[in-house]
Amino acid sequence: MSAPAACRLCGLPYDRIGNNPAPLATSGRCCDACNEVVIEARIDPAALRLELERVTDAMLRIGPDQLQQAALAAICASRGPVLWAQRQRERAQLIAMIEREGR
């Protein structure tokens, strides 16, 4: 049995075959949770772009390190079945901050 692969978008491990992350990434595979966002990006790229801008703006208050990657990861986590808050403490804090900014 091979080791789980890491999702190209959120970086979390997944144990299935994975999905094509295009148009959000040009290489690698993504997990099922992130694939929901990929599908939306294919169907309605303008809506995802607006949400990405909202999340990016909220994250600017945290710091600029790999901002777009983290914003995509936060969107994926907020929509998918993955319980991010239990896996990585820093990501849980980021998601809580984004949720506060969205209200």
pLDDT of residue 96: 73
Helices then strands, counting H and E runs in the chain, come out as 5, 2
Q: Look at the pTM and tell me if it is higher than 0.75.
A: no
pLDDT of residue 29: 94
∠ CA 88-92-93 to the nearest 5 degrees?
120
Res 1: pLDDT: 47
- As a whole number of angstroms, the distance between CA 103 and CA 99 comes to 7
Q: In the prediction, which pLDDT does 87 show?
A: 53
Helix H or strand E segment including 79: helix 67-79
**What are the pLDDT digits (tens) for 48-87?**
888 888 877 776 776 666 677 777 777 777 665 544 444 5
Taking only the tens place, the pLDDT of each residue in 3-59 is: 678 889 888 888 888 999 999 999 999 988 889 889 989 998 898 888 888 877 776
Residue 42 has a pLDDT of: 92
